Amino acid sequence: MATATAVLGTPQLLKASLRHEARSFLPWVVIVTALSVSSVIVYPLLFPSQHDRHAFATTVGSNPALGLIFGPAYDLSTVDGFNAWRSLALGGFITALGAILIVVKASRGQEDSGQAELLASGVLGREARLLTAMLMGMIASVAVGVVSSVLTGLFGGGWEASLLLGAGFVVTGWMFSAVAALTAQIGSDARTATSLAVGVLSVLFVLRGFLFSIDAPRWTVWINPLGWIEETRPATGDHWWPLILGVVFTAVVAGIAFAFQVSRDFGQGLIATPPGPARGRIHSVLGLAIRLNRSPIIYWSCAFVGLGVIFGYFTGSVRSLFAANPEMAKIFASGAANPAELYGAFLVTIFSLVGIIASIAGVQTINLVRNEELNDRAEPVLATAVTRNRYLGSSVAVAFAETALYMVIAGVVVGIFTAYHNIGISFGDALLQAVATIPAVWTVVAVAVAVIGAVPQARLASWIGVLASFAITLFGPSFKFPEWAMDISPFHHAPDVTTGSSDGWGLLWISLFTVAFLVIGFAGFRRRDTP
């Protein structure tokens, strides 16, 4: 009876929530489906013969950087094996990320915005909102799995492998719906809850890839929930039973989340927000922007130390990798004529990946501007003598400064490893390569400024620079993208400082695009309404 009362009103709230929020599921469904469907379409076109497929498998199978992202490549000689390698880990990550955002928005997000109080004033059980939020995340995950598996099968994928792949997406989304429900009880607000959940997802994702890349003992797979999904092995084993572990994980973590919910105050997390000073100490809009982003900057800085260690570790094996697999050179630099150029191209690729990750942090900072508007915290600031240019400019300055800081941190750590491993790249070369990649990061952040400043209703488009750069950097060389397509990514224009042959024109061009995007963003922000 008590349980029924606690979830009273859930069906009605779920129906209303889906009517208003179901459209937000669409981007996640489209991205993951496109990832899977494109794999089964392009693979036969790009690698028609067994020789081509063998060369590609040799290139990719021993590449630690790609192994970090995609995990083990069990069989790259078939369409389904390739699709499983390319889509399972990355598609699961995207599904989990979408589930986290959906669950936190429907739970703690409503408390922060005041909507939860309006709902609580009606006939609604205490646990109904959290249950509805979890169900929304799980429904979105099911939509991703069903649509992607059906379309993958229709476009030529094997049905059993495609259905198992889709089931992997579903269970991954379910697991992190539960994680998000738990962090929603722990965090002091929705932003903190999201950061905690995304942090857990990111750590587990990188740990999964890193342990595979260093050939860690088999038992390490089973301590990581994402490792369970990898063990389903679509197309090479078709094991359904590891999904049961994911379902059990979801039930246990969700139970803990519901237990914590009754232990906290409404609008507060188990991690209490410390009281502010008796008198305000922030006297500028730039100081306010720094204060709002202080905690994420600290977290991201620690993360980039870890990334530097991981990628720096890989530099120690680069000589043996190239010696054992000459085909791998094509991923990093077609036309590199000697080992020094190969090592330099390897470094460029590493810092391109680090730069893409750094741009995620910068785009998050720019999106915070829109969040402040929607939560009615921007208008009181703009009602003072603060101009719109100063208000937006302060966040842009923080985004540019923090991304530069992250690249320098990674450059220092990787430089220590390259100097230690003595592969012909000095500490200074590694650090300079990291610095040379910063303008490309700023271009991606500037795309977000243009979107948030001019057309904030399309804020999802602020991530298009990150997604395009990621896809082109990882898939472009091995999938034989034409040069004009490679040029779309600003990271393709980052010079190789180790060869000394770059003339800097690429940096000039992307800097001009950065300025253009900033002009669009600032002009749009001055003219549009708030929020």
Give 2 or 19, the one with higher predicted confidence.
19
Nearest to 181 by CA among 125, 249, 253, 128: 253
Q: Is 245 exposed, middle or buried (0-12, 13-18, 19+ CB in 10 A)?
A: middle
- In tens, the pLDDT along 467-477 reads 899 888 877 77
End-to-end Cα, the chain, rounded Å? 44
pLDDT higher than 50, residue 332? no
Separation of alpha carbons 226 and 224, rounded Å: 5
> Stretch 64-71: mean pLDDT, rounded?
71
> Which amino acid is present at 12?
Q
Give 213 or 369, the one with higher predicted confidence.
369
- In tens, the pLDDT along 351-368 reads 998 999 999 999 999 999
Give 278 or 152, the one with higher predicted confidence.
152
- In tens, the pLDDT along 381-425 reads 988 889 999 999 999 999 999 999 999 999 999 999 888 887 778
457 Cβ contact partners less than 8 Å away, ≥ 6 residues apart: none
Give 500 or 177, the one with higher predicted confidence.
177
292 Cβ contact partners less than 8 Å away, ≥ 6 residues apart: 368, 372
Spatial contact of 116 and 64, defined as CB atoms under 8 Å apart: no
Instruction: State the DSSP code for 125.
Output: -
pLDDT recorded at residue 331 = 46
Q: Place 111 in a pLDDT band, splitting at 50, 70 and 90.
A: confident
Give 194 or 503, the one with higher predicted confidence.
194
Over the chain, what is the mean pLDDT?
A: 85
pLDDT higher than 80, residue 114? no
- Give the torsion through C-alpha atoms of 449, 450, 452, 455, to 10 deg: 180
Q: Is the dihedral of CA 293, 295, 298, 303 positive or negative?
A: negative
Q: Place 62 in a pLDDT band, splitting at 50, 70 and 90.
A: low
pLDDT recorded at residue 511 = 93
Separation of alpha carbons 394 and 289, rounded Å: 6
Separation of alpha carbons 86 and 39, rounded Å: 7
Separation of alpha carbons 413 and 306, rounded Å: 9
pLDDT higher than 70, residue 487? yes
Lowest-confidence pick of 58-62, 156-160, 360-364: 58-62
Separation of alpha carbons 206 and 471, rounded Å: 18
Q: Is 384 exposed, middle or buried (0-12, 13-18, 19+ CB in 10 A)?
A: exposed
pLDDT recorded at residue 322 = 58
Three-state DSSP state, 72: coil
> Stretch 283-303: mean pLDDT, rounded?
89
pLDDT recorded at residue 290 = 92
Nearest to 73 by CA among 182, 185, 230: 230
E-strand stretches of 287-343:
none
Three-class secondary structure assignment of 402-426: HHHHHHHHHHHHHHHHHHHHCCCCC
- In tens, the pLDDT along 245-275 reads 999 999 999 999 999 887 777 767 777 777 7
- In tens, the pLDDT along 29-52 reads 999 999 899 889 888 887 888 877
Give 191 or 444, the one with higher predicted confidence.
444
Spatial contact of 116 and 105, defined as CB atoms under 8 Å apart: no
pLDDT higher than 90, residue 515? yes
User: Rounded to two decimals, what is the model's pTM?
Assistant: 0.83
Q: At what angle do helices 79-106 and 26-46 cross, to 10 degrees?
A: 170
Separation of alpha carbons 297 and 358, rounded Å: 11
Q: Place 333 in a pLDDT band, splitting at 50, 70 and 90.
A: very low
Nearest 5°: the CA angle 127, 128, 132 is 120
326 Cβ contact partners less than 8 Å away, ≥ 6 residues apart: none
Share of the chain above pLDDT 70, in %: 89
pLDDT higher than 80, residue 276? no
Q: Place 335 in a pLDDT band, splitting at 50, 70 and 90.
A: very low
Separation of alpha carbons 121 and 159, rounded Å: 48
